[in-house]
Structure 1
Amino acid sequence: MLVDYGSRDKLFLDAVEEVRHQLLSIAGVSQADGYECVIVQGSGTTAVEAMLGAAVPRKDGKVLIVTNGAYGHRQKAMCQYLGIDHETLDFEDHDAICVKRVLAALREDEDFTDVSFVHHETTAGVLNPLYELVKNIKAEFPPMRVLVDSMSGFGAYPLDMSWGIDFAVSSANKCIEGVPGFGYVLCSREALQQTKGNARSLSLDIYEQWAFMESTKQFRYTPPTHAILAFQQALREFLQEGAREQRAARYQANYEVMERGMEEMGFEFYVPKAHRSYCICTFKTPDHPNFDFQTFYNLLAEQGFVIYPGKLSKGNSFRIGIIGRLFPKDCEQLVLAVRRSCDIMSVPLPLK
């Protein structure tokens, strides 16, 4: 990121092309197979909004948003802002999406043209059954467009566009381990071309973004040059590590250290093991009078560890992310830091 390239410099344009092709490859497809990668400047949320705003038709379009956490509910808010006809099917934030209930909801309303859901819902750390959802939806409703927010899943869990996914979104700063600055929409070229003239926003028009880049190799508006160069390097390191399989194995090893260490201290997971992801852990806040989350947070920060407060609809919790350039030895140190913090707060372990 200490190298400056102009946004129209050939070296930068070559980097963009490499990034686009590599992302499709990770998703199991290529341009030759009829798929495209559209880079969208901004946050991952920006890319999700770009996907929804372009994919769901203005005329007679209606999307079923399936939610089991805050990021699914965020899609609902986007549709409200954009004036997109939608309904929601809600699940508890500690449960995975049920395929049978999704199919039943689609059967009940023939007006649905699209269905959208989150692959890895990090509100609580629930992994939804992506393959089963896509295959069953496409088997019963072949014309239905399937939209996937795989923000924190892509690169760590299997996602193959050829399963029947029409649009999938992720961002630079999650499991590929780049830095914030852009998201990307992976899509079938046929589905993308159908969005021409449909977007609700000029700067978030993924069709025009793609068409301009195909004809000029450039972005329509100022690109995040340094973030893309950093991501180019992150992709190379991703492949050097062994691509998704080995990246996932490292995250799984991190999770196992956290699971063993936290449960030995009596901390309770919020999500049942069957639905739990290995990218983020959500723990119930201990019910002990001496445990104060802000104090706990500050004590961990003083030891070099920053965690997240919970985002659950019910109850108090906290979250620990275990993706990024982290290894089992880092997680072992975090477990020790948690133990020291509880000792300082006079919270006896194991918790009762």
Structure 2
Amino acid sequence: CREDLVRLAGGGSDFVAVTFTGSGTAAVEAVLCSAVPREGALLIVDNGVYGRRMVQIAKAHGIPAEVIRLDNTTAVNPGDVEARLSARPELSHVALVHHETTTGLLNPVPAVVEVAAHHGRGVILDAMSSLFGEPLDVGQDGLDFAVASANKCLQGIPGVAFVLCRRSAVEELKGREPRSVYLDLYSHYAAQEQDNTPFTPAVQVFHALRQALAELEAEGVEARIKRYSENARVLREGMARLGFEILVPEGARSSILTTFRLLPGLTYEALHDQMKRRGYVIYAGQGEIRNVAFRVSNMGTLTPADLEDAVAAFEASLVELGIQRRVP
């Protein structure tokens, strides 16, 4: 599985995959608590729930962190990253989320990585819900660690997460005093390089990961990205006809998840129940947008025809609820 993960992600010979039995957060925490040296500090981009989780992880491990705080619909400005790195030489790494599923926001990863590389800093990227679903140059100079899991765009099941590591970056961790036992990135890397594991793996989930990789190989990474993009187009055009507005500005939207504003007079609970009766599950907005928005994802084996059916279900739900469509 490790070799296939690197190959399909386009990492090349400079990269190696390190797997963890655990959720995606386990792998994110492993990188944060392992990669930042004792004398170093983190620059974290916080524009969603998962950026804030990185802040929580850093605090729990006593890692000094400077935080660029933005609202949940605003992508980071690479110029702000440049300014912080210029002002604080002790910031050894930049940590950010590529695709914030809080809202469906995409951060401009290539530009941020370029800035970090110019300043000689490494980037730790949470690519949990973007790898294999959005264009991502894993091998870009400066991107040292990209974290993802089996159960997002890879279309596997939960329980396995992995880190695509630049080999030189993970080798630098050798001999460093770990902040964690189970989540020490280097110990997992060293054991896996010897075809071993430091702890008991979830074998059944790795078998599912192998199958998911085979299915990705059969479809093709570019084809999957294209299918997700077409799914998103069909969904968004259909929802626009029903009067729904997208929370995230155009140009910062992913092709994987969309957050729509609730129509006047429509509650999330009422819409959720109507859609569930029709065989669909929608998610509430996270955090402060919970009562004003809802989320729809189009990842997985869905096709554009499936999204057309979903739009029809939304329309039927509005009719039954007596909600007047607001056509832009």
Q: TM-score per shorter chain, which class? A: over 0.9
Q: How many angstroms does 1:351 deviate by? A: 5.7
CA deviation vs aligned residue, 1:156-187 (integer Å, no higher than 9, x gap): 12223321211110000011101101110111
Q: Percent identity?
A: 37
Q: How many angstroms does 1:281 deviate by? A: 0.5
1:177-196 matches, within 5 Å, as: 177-196=155-174
1:156 aligns with 2:102: no
Q: Which residue of 2 aligns with 1:282?
A: 259
Q: Which residue of 1 aligns with 2:3?
A: 21
1:117 aligns with 2:99: no
Q: Which residue of 2 aligns with 1:302?
A: 277
- Asked whether the equivalents of residues 127 and 277 of structure 1 are also in contact (C-alpha less than 8 Å), the reply is yes
SS in 2 for 1:195: coil
CA deviation vs aligned residue, 1:205-264 (integer Å, no higher than 9, x gap): 11011111222x122211111211111111111111122x10011111111111111000
The count of corresponding residues between Structure 1 and Structure 2 is 325
1:49 aligns with 2:49: no
SS in 1 for 2:139: helix
> Which amino acid is 2:145 matched to?
F
SS in 1 for 2:247: coil
Q: How many angstroms does 1:350 deviate by? A: 3.2
- Asked whether the equivalents of residues 124 and 312 of structure 1 are also in contact (C-alpha less than 8 Å), the reply is no
Among candidates 131, 136, 145, match of residue 167 of structure 1? 145
- Asked whether the equivalents of residues 63 and 86 of structure 1 are also in contact (C-alpha less than 8 Å), the reply is yes
Q: Which residue of 1 aligns with 2:293?
A: 317
CA deviation vs aligned residue, 1:263-322 (integer Å, no higher than 9, x gap): 00100110111111110000112122xx22112101111111111100153562100011
Among candidates 129, 133, 151, match of residue 112 of structure 2? 133
Q: Which residue of 2 aligns with 1:4?
A: none
SS in 2 for 1:299: helix
Distance 1:97 1:123 in 2: 15
Distance 2:234 2:287 in 1: 24
SS in 1 for 2:16: strand
Q: Which residue of 2 aligns with 1:340?
A: 316
- Asked whether the equivalents of residues 283 and 294 of structure 2 are also in contact (C-alpha less than 8 Å), the reply is yes
Distance 1:161 1:258 in 2: 28
1:224 aligns with 2:206: no
SS in 1 for 2:324: coil
SS in 2 for 1:162: coil
- Asked whether the equivalents of residues 125 and 277 of structure 1 are also in contact (C-alpha less than 8 Å), the reply is yes
SS in 2 for 1:66: strand
Distance 1:136 1:53 in 2: 23
SS in 2 for 1:187: strand
Unaligned runs of 5+ in 1: 1-18
The TM-score with structure 2 as length reference comes to: 0.95
Q: How many angstroms does 1:136 deviate by? A: 2.3
Q: Which residue of 1 aligns with 2:52?
A: 73
Unaligned runs of 5+ in 2: none
SS in 2 for 1:319: strand
How has the CA–CA distance of structure 1 residues 345 and 351 changed in structure 2, closer, same or farther, with 3 Å as cutoff?
A: farther
Distance 2:117 2:83 in 1: 14
Among candidates 64, 69, 78, match of residue 43 of structure 2? 64
Q: Which residue of 2 aligns with 1:147?
A: 124
State the 4+ residue runs in structure 1 displaced beyond 3 angstroms: 312-315
Distance 1:46 1:246 in 2: 29
The TM-score with structure 1 as length reference comes to: 0.89
- Asked whether the equivalents of residues 120 and 126 of structure 1 are also in contact (C-alpha less than 8 Å), the reply is yes
> Which amino acid is 2:314 matched to?
V
> Which amino acid is 1:298 matched to?
D
> Which amino acid is 1:234 matched to?
A
- Asked whether the equivalents of residues 93 and 313 of structure 1 are also in contact (C-alpha less than 8 Å), the reply is no
